[in-house]
Structures are given as C-alpha cells and as structure tokens.
Amino acid sequence: MPGIKLCFLWHMHQPFYKDLVSGEYKLPWVRLHALKDYYGMVKILEEFPSIHQTFNLVPSLLVQIEDYARAEASDPFFRLAATPASQLSSSEKDSILRYFFQANSERVIGRYPRYAELYRIFQRCEHNAERACALFNEQMLRDLQVFSQLAWFDEEYLQHDPQVKALLAKGRDFTVLEQLSVIQKELQAMPNVINVYREFAKRGQIELSASAFYHPILPLLCDTNIASVSHPYVSLPSQFAHPDDAEEQLRRSCRYFEEVFEQAPAGFWPSEGAVSDETLRVAAKIGFQWTATDNAVLARTIGTDATPKNTYRPYIWRQNGQAIQVLFRDQKLSDFIGFVYQNMDPAKAAKHFLSEIYRNCQPILAEGRDALVPIILDGENAWESYVENGRPFLRELYREIAADERIAALTISEALSRMRPDKIAHIYPGSWIDTNFDIWIGAQEDNLAWEQLLAARNKYNEVMRSRGGRDIPEANRRTAWEELLIAEGSDWCWWYGPEHSSANRGEFDQLYRAHLANVYRLLGEDPPDTLEEPILRETEILAHELPSGMIDPQIDGVLTSQSEWQDAGRYRIEQRSGAMHSQKAPIQELRYGTDGQNIFLAVGMAETAKANSAYEFRLQLRNEQKDEFLIKVSVTDSGETIVDSNLPETAISAAIVEVLELKVSMCALRARRGDSVYLRLSLFRDGLPLAVFPKQGEFELRPNPMAAFAF
C-alpha cells in the first residue's frame, strides 16, 4: 500500500558571536536559545517514540554551545543578569533596560505578570532607558534580571524543575540568592543540549545533518557573479570566487561531526537553502549523500509549477560523475508552521496541517506511489510567537501523526532509502527566499560588505605569498584564517540591506567589521580606515505620526483626494522581517483620525490584497475601559464590501477597493473625549490567519495634544 512519508527538518543556527581575539561573546542568543529551543525541540520527542525527524545543526553553533557548556564563554548580558542589582553602575542599569525586554511582548513577557508589569513601565517611558532608570528601584531591576533569564527556559524546566517552579510561584521580589540560583541553573542546563542530540541520534529517532561550518551562502562563495542568473542586471560587487573556501567549510563540518557525534553527516542543509551546480558538485565530492532546498527552486529547475506531485518525491542530481540526492521542501506548509499557526488554536492548527497533507497527497497515492512530504524550516525563532513556546501545538501535531497509520514520520535518510529518485542534470541557482540571492548581495550595504571581505581575503593571500607566513606566529595565521571563514557567513549580509530589522543590527555591523579588522592585525597589518566606519547607512522611518487636525473622509475605498486624509495620524507598517524571513507585508500603512463623533481608519494595502475576495480584515478595538469590539470586513467576488460586527449596523461604514476605509461611531465604542482607542488588525486568507499588525501589542489611536480636538 502506498503511504505518506513525512520528513521534518528543523534547522538550528545562530551567527558566530565570539570575537576570537578578545574572546568575548557580543550577543546572548546562542545561550538563550540553548536553554529553550535547541534542547526542548528534541526532548519533546521522548513522548512520541514513533516520530522520527532530522535536525540540521550548524557546527559553528555547536562550538559556541560547547563553550557555554564548559563555562568558558563570556557574554556581557550574562554578567549583567548575574550582577547583584545593588552593585550595578548607571551604564549597566541602562544596558539592562535596553536589552532585557528583547523578547516577544505578548507570548514571552506577557506570560509572566511581573515581567509584563515592568515592561509596561518601560513602555510608558517610551522605551527610553535613561528615563526608565529613574523609576526602576533595586528590587524592580533584580526582578527584571531574573525574568529576562527565566523566560527563556524550556517548558521541561518551567513545568517540571522544582527550583524553577518555586521561583515562578513566588513571581516577584526575588532575593540575590534566588537571582544567582537562576544563573547556576543555566550553567547546569547548557551541557544537556549536545547530549540530548547525541542520545536521540544513537537511538535512531533523529538524524543529524549539517550546514557548512560558518553558514556561508555557498553559491556566492563559489562565485558572486552567479547572483545575476536569478536576478539579471543586479548590481554586484567585485567578483568573489573561492570554491576552495566552500569546500573547506563543508569538509570542516564533516570532521567536526565525526569528532562530536562519532559519524559524518549523510546530509547537509545548504545555508538558506542556497544551491547551484557548483555547490552540489563540491558537496557530492566530499561525500554528502543528500541535500535540500525550496520547491520554488524546483519549479525553476524543471520549468513547471512545483505541484505536490512534483514536490513530494526525491530527485538525484548528476553531473560529471558526481551525484547527490535532493529534496525540495513544501514551502507553503513549512511557512504555515513558521508564520501562521502561532495565531491559531493548537488542535485546530494541527488538524489543518494534516488535512492539507492528505489533500495534497491523495492524487499521488491514487497513482499507487508513495508521497514524500518535506517540511523544512527554522527550528528556533518561530516558537517565541507561539503559546508556551509552541509545545501545545507540537504535542497536538505529533499525537495526531503517531495515531495515523497512513503517515510515517521518518528521518530524511530513512525516507530516501525507501524511494527511487527522479533524475535532474542541473539545478537552478537560488535560495529558499524568492529563488535568488538578493538578501545577501545587490544592495549598497551588502555590496560594501562583500568588497571588504574580498579585500581582507586578498590581503591574506598576498601576505601568505609574499612572506609565506614565515614571520607570523602560527597561532596568528590560523586565527586570521578562522576570522575570514567566520566573515564569510551569511548572517552579516542578512542584516545589511533593506529586508530585515533587528534591535541588534548595530552590534552585527560592529562584529562583522571586527572579524575583518582582526584578520589584518593578526597578519601584522593595519586595518583599512573603512573598517572603522559603519556599513549600515539606512535609518528607520518614523513609525507613528500623530493627527494634526480634524478629518472627514468619504468612505468609498478610494483615496478620493490627497486632502481627505492629510491631517490623519499615521502608522507605517514595518516592512522588514526579523531573524525569520517573511513575505512582503500585505498591509502597508494605517491612517486614523476623527471628526469629533466618529473614528476613521484607512488601511493601505499591497496590490495582492486589494479587493481580493480571499482576504478578510479583522479589527479588534477596545476602549480605555477595556470593552472589546470585533469588526470583520471582506469583499465578495463581485466587489461588494461585507461587514460583520458585534456593533450596531448603523455604527459602521466600510469599503474596500484600493484601500480599506472604515468609519466607526465613538458613541458605539463608548469612547469618551480625550480617550485613546486601541486596535489590533488581523488579515485572514481562506480562513487562515495570514498576518497580525502590530506583531506585538496594539496600535494606540490617540490625538495630538496640540490639536484642537480629542476623541
């Protein structure tokens, strides 16, 4: 009987935060994710022994985890969390307030009443650490220090560890000894991470695959000019072409895995799913048996749509005597887990996921052949947006899979051993993001970063050729080479350019330039002055503009004139993604205002959302008395606007054509003069939550204090 072979691959990765010269870890994210995601994602499988999965581990991540496990890693945020609040300097208090709220405000901070209370105080100070310092006393700072760490512990600790449970039960007013006990608990937890992977791999429940050692974009490392194939006429830097570096990065991964896990990985996930013929040639030469990328790359490779029939099967790439098997992930289903199900009930999300698999596989099974369903995504960053780190969702999903005889959850090697692959003689060069390399090359900041990498790489070659490295200590030569390999990683250019945003972009920029400057210093050369200057050039646009006067727009779904919304308040929707890449936001901006009796809203939409009957807008409004109101707005196939709400029909007017325009009676909302009204806007497509704005919290619709009106 044909069946469904479901292959999950969870990709675990963080940038290399350690400065090899100073030995300092610049950011804490390896340590914090190790407490939660790296450990918990494997540990949960203990409850479901029939569920087999593949975990892709980037060696440079494991090196950092090992540092922490041996208590040899040092990061300033860990020291800040451990320092008694009574001993904090003014600058340390400022750092704590600036960095210790860097977590999902709803799912992480909001889960703990004291943490949420402290965050609201910080919000009232408009996220200004200097102003907040005057309000945070010693006890408040200590409670913040404790929760900034506790919030990152895995559910295994939160629900079963007696010490952690006692701290959560107490909830506030922690002592210095309790603060230090959290630090000690972290140190005890770190060695568990690699041990749990080793244990589950030995029992055969998980397969371990690898990426290139420092997570470079391998096709660009081989030749940056390859970017012009998927994006003709893209602006490119001077050519960087070092396929020997790509081979070195892959060989190092194999050696490292043999040392740590006592066997080389059979498969590798190319960083960001980025592939090319040269990349596959190098991987096959080294001995990797399988790799994977996105099914949009498959579509460009075979010249037709990546339907389930095409996607749900293995392929074998052959060229010039080299061969490697290739899987192409189901982008849609993978993105459901990454970006959609966080906003759904866990049980409903799990059932929806499986129903989509059944629907996709039915025609394949009817033909009498097996369906191999590859689900591949980031294994760490999504869970911060889920209730309880996504564990309720995963338990529901795994429980359903384990109980279903039609599905076998297998490692990738297990699935490949049971199916015959189709042949391909070429693969389209691209990544799992838009089947191109635009995230990492082409923008002004990206290209400058590549130019500086090329200059450092050339300097290394020049010194080795001219002096043979004879007057350079061996340790310096090795470290300079290591710094170059680190700088080849994908993470630096992830944050350069217009696509992604982070509160730590400045730190990433500094660390990248520090890695390159270290190359010169270790070779006895002066770093170029350009490495002293930030690569980041862009400034973030103003997020919120207050209203400047009364408005009275016509509710027709069209911006009839520039003047009708001219005096409105305005929220620009952030177009950048974070550590996980999402598609361009379908909502561009929100405008709001009043005529003294009604609140007006205008939602600017991307082309795909305009008058599209597949979309439904849901507006959750509340007044300052916390009365809540829900308004649903959609359009029919004929273009008619439909409104469904718990407000009286006469209190609302709405229209969707080029924009969504809405008028709501202030009286119906029970909003008094001078009150703020709070809004959360969700966009649904085909009944599924596609996006939520803002991603955390609510929009506050408030008047300009200097304006001549208030609502």
User: Which 3-state string (H, E, C) describes 283-311?
Assistant: HHHHCCCEEEEEHHHHHHHHCCCCCHHHH
Identity (one letter) of the amino acid at 677?
V
How high does pLDDT run on average in the chain?
91
Interval 146-171 mean pLDDT: 96
Token pair 């090899």 in the structure block, residue: 20
> What values do phi and psi take at 327, rounded to 5?
-110, 150
Q: What residues contact 80, with CB distance under 8 A and at least 6 apart? A: 88, 92, 95, 96, 99, 100, 145
CA dist., res. 83 & res. 79, Å (int): 6
Position 470 in a domain:
yes
Quote the pLDDT of residue 501: 73
Q: What residues contact 309, with CB distance under 8 A and at least 6 apart? A: 363, 364
Q: What residues contact 451, with CB distance under 8 A and at least 6 apart? A: 237, 238
Quote the pLDDT of residue 584: 56
Whether 567 and 657 map to the same domain: the answer is yes
Residue 349 has pLDDT above 80, yes or no: yes
What tokens appear for 704 in the block? 């300009």
Q: First CA to last CA across the chain, in angstroms?
A: 66
pTM: 0.84
Stated as kind and residue range, the H or E segment containing 656 is: strand 652-656
CA dist., res. 325 & res. 374, Å (int): 13
Q: How far is CA 107 from CA 96, 103, 151, 168, in A?
A: 20, 9, 10, 16
Share of the chain above pLDDT 70, in %: 94
> What values do phi and psi take at 663, rounded to 5?
-125, 130
Quote the pLDDT of residue 708: 33
pLDDT digits (tens, 9 = 90+) for 490-508: 999 999 988 777 778 889 9
- The boundaries of the domain holding residue 600 are 544-701
Token pair 């379908």 in the structure block, residue: 586
Quote the pLDDT of residue 705: 39
User: What is the maximal distance between C-alpha atoms in the chain?
Assistant: 85
Of the three residues 479, 509, 532, the one that is the final residue of a domain is 532
CA dist., res. 260 & res. 661, Å (int): 59
Band (pLDDT 50/70/90 cuts) for residue 538 is low
Counting beta carbons within 10 angstroms of the beta carbon of residue 253, is it exposed (0 to 12), middle (13 to 18) or buried (19 or more)?
buried
Residue 434 has pLDDT above 90, yes or no: yes
Q: How far is CA 62 from CA 12, 38, 89, 214, 379, in A?
A: 10, 10, 33, 11, 15
Q: Tell me the CB-side half-sphere exposure of residue 642, using CA atoms within 13 A.
A: 12
Helix, strand, or coil (residue 373): strand
Residue 575 has pLDDT above 80, yes or no: no
Query: Could you tell me if 365 and 304 are in contact, meaning their C-beta atoms sit under 8 angstroms apart?
Result: no
Quote the pLDDT of residue 214: 98
pLDDT digits (tens, 9 = 90+) for 224-263: 999 999 999 999 999 999 999 999 999 999 999 999 999 9
What are the helix and strand counts (H, E) for the chain? 27, 22
Residue 518 has pLDDT above 70, yes or no: yes
pLDDT digits (tens, 9 = 90+) for 68-89: 999 999 899 999 999 999 999 9
Q: What residues contact 164, with CB distance under 8 A and at least 6 apart? A: 150, 153, 157, 158, 185
What tokens appear for 663 in the block? 């008028």
CA dist., res. 229 & res. 234, Å (int): 9
pLDDT digits (tens, 9 = 90+) for 310-331: 999 999 999 999 999 999 999 9
Nearest to 602 by CA among 636, 574, 638, 564: 564
What tokens appear for 471 in the block? 């007057």
Residue 549 has pLDDT above 90, yes or no: no
Residue 706 has pLDDT above 60, yes or no: no
Nearest to 102 by CA among 129, 83, 74: 129
CA dist., res. 336 & res. 393, Å (int): 12
The secondary structure of 12-80 as a DSSP string is: E-----B-TTT--BS--HHHHHIIIIIHHHHHGGGG-TT--EEEEE-HHHHHHHHHHHTT----HHHHH
Residue 146 has pLDDT above 80, yes or no: yes
Return the CATH number at 486. Answer: 1.20.1430.10
Whether 493 and 598 map to the same domain: the answer is no
Position 109 in a domain:
no
Angle between helices 444-467 and 505-522 (to 10 degrees): 20
Whether 514 and 571 map to the same domain: the answer is no
Position 123 in a domain:
no
Quote the pLDDT of residue 493: 95
Residue 586 has pLDDT above 50, yes or no: yes
pLDDT digits (tens, 9 = 90+) for 378-416: 999 999 999 999 999 999 999 999 999 999 999 999 999
Whether 457 and 601 map to the same domain: the answer is no
Whether 683 and 645 map to the same domain: the answer is yes
Whether 512 and 626 map to the same domain: the answer is no
Position 164 in a domain:
no
Nearest to 671 by CA among 598, 600, 565: 598
Residue 142 has pLDDT above 90, yes or no: yes
Band (pLDDT 50/70/90 cuts) for residue 704 is very low
> What values do phi and psi take at 431, rounded to 5?
-120, 180
Band (pLDDT 50/70/90 cuts) for residue 576 is low
CA dist., res. 528 & res. 667, Å (int): 64
Of the three residues 503, 532, 561, the one that is the final residue of a domain is 532
Quote the pLDDT of residue 610: 61
Residue 578 has pLDDT above 70, yes or no: no
Whether 561 and 659 map to the same domain: the answer is yes
Residue 302 has pLDDT above 70, yes or no: yes
Interval 46-75 mean pLDDT: 96
Q: How many domains does the chain have?
A: 2
Residue 350 has pLDDT above 70, yes or no: yes
Position 674 in a domain:
yes
Interval 28-57 mean pLDDT: 97
Position 593 in a domain:
yes
Whether 593 and 676 map to the same domain: the answer is yes
Residue 153 has pLDDT above 80, yes or no: yes
Return the CATH number at 653. Answer: 2.60.40.10
Residue 581 has pLDDT above 60, yes or no: no
Whether 508 and 640 map to the same domain: the answer is no
Whether 600 and 652 map to the same domain: the answer is yes
Whether 496 and 556 map to the same domain: the answer is no
Lowest mean pLDDT among 154-168, 296-310, 538-552: 538-552
Residue 333 has pLDDT above 80, yes or no: yes
Position 666 in a domain:
yes
> What values do phi and psi take at 536, rounded to 5?
-60, 125
What tokens appear for 81 in the block? 């969390």
Position 472 in a domain:
yes
pLDDT digits (tens, 9 = 90+) for 160-211: 999 999 999 999 999 999 999 999 999 999 999 999 999 999 999 999 999 9
Torsional class of 215: left (φ above 0), alpha (ψ -120 to 50), beta (otherwise): left
Of the three residues 488, 504, 532, the one that is the final residue of a domain is 532
Whether 580 and 516 map to the same domain: the answer is no
Query: Could you tell me if 24 and 74 are in contact, meaning their C-beta atoms sit under 8 angstroms apart?
Result: yes
CA dist., res. 441 & res. 159, Å (int): 44
What tokens appear for 659 in the block? 């924009």
Residue 470 has pLDDT above 70, yes or no: yes
